[in-house]
Amino acid sequence: MTSLNPFHYTWWLASRSAGIVGFLALGAVAVLGLLSALKVFSPKTNARLRPYHERLALTGLGAIAVHGTLLLADPWLHPGVSGILIPFTMGYRPLATGLGIIAFYALCAFGLSYYQRRRIGARRWRSAHRFASIAFVLGGLHALLAGTDARSPLLLGLILGLFALVGILGAARALGVPAPRKRAASAA
């Protein structure tokens, strides 16, 4: 009989919590980024929101790194360093865990590329940055397919709700909706 004592699952609970925090933070990053790209806010408001976008991205990436690191101590999973770092090599649900690892690497590349955007070129950086939402979706698929509690109504609602919001905003961005604001003509 399995124990229902949560202290027998400390590493798993801590890791899962860090993963959920990371997913929510990166979901907020995706939503803020897409709202900014859609020019929903004024340029002044976008400028005020930019530091939150950046800090949430770093917080989310840090939480996801903690998520993987804590799994190393899980007495049931025993993923090993290669299972945490190399996609599709973990014995537990390799496809799902591989998607999560790829999502993490891609989000790290997108997030950290911000600091190299002048070298990369702003246009090229923005163009590549559009794929960050795809990496976010891969992370959500990881949570749905690898998480043993992914069927809980709360977590399922959070994941699917963020998927829907990012999907709608991403589609609006791809379709060019709403149209860019036109500057008001100055009175002559």
- Write down the mean pLDDT value for the chain: 88
CA distance 55 to 30: 13
> Which of 39-44's residues contact partners 24+ apart within 8 Å by CB, and which partners?
39/178, 39/180, 39/181, 40/178
Contact 105, 60 (CB under 8 A): no
Whether 144 has a pLDDT exceeding 50, the answer reads: yes
Return the pLDDT at 176: 85
Q: What is the pTM of this model?
A: 0.86
CA distance 89 to 167: 30
pLDDT digits (tens, 9 = 90+) for 115-129: 888 898 888 888 888
Whether 94 has a pLDDT exceeding 80, the answer reads: yes
Percentage above 90 pLDDT, the chain = 60
Domain ranges for the chain, please list them: 8-175
Return the pLDDT at 185: 47
**C-alpha closest to that of 13 among 94, 74, 79:** 74
pLDDT band at 3 (very low <50, low <70, confident <90, very high): low
Q: Label residues 31-51 b or e (16+ Cβ within 10 Å = b).
A: bbbbbbbbeeeeeeebeeeee
Return the pLDDT at 64: 97
